[in-house]
Amino acid sequence: MDAKIIRRGTLFEKTDKNKKRNWVIMPFLCIVKSRNVNLDHENVDFRWIHSKNIKNYPTVPGLEKDLKVLGLI
């Protein structure tokens, strides 16, 4: 995906107690030239949604915090 970073968030850590892992997350806000998405082996589906509707969808742990860090919600 051809993207231009327009805002960098703040690095933060997320603990997944179920998987007994710590994740270091660095969120970015990007502008893309195409809405086409190529999924890798870790993903099965995607959907473009407005950030204000994030609570209406099951997402990865910490996504809402990523959006807050970027000033999107």
Q: Which residue has the higher pLDDT, 51 or 4?
A: 4
Res. 1 pLDDT band, cuts 50 70 90: low
User: Do residues 73 and 50 lie in contact, with contact meaning Cβ atoms separated by under 8 Å?
Assistant: no
**Beta partners for 16?**
21
Report the pLDDT averaged over residues 8-14. 82
Beta strands in the chain (DSSP E): 3-8, 12-16, 21-25, 28-32
Report the pLDDT averaged over residues 2-18. 85
Total number of residues shown for the chain: 73
Tens digit of each residue's pLDDT (9 = 90 or more) over 12-55: 888 888 889 888 888 888 898 888 888 899 888 888 888 888 88
Predicted confidence at residue 59, as pLDDT, reads 81
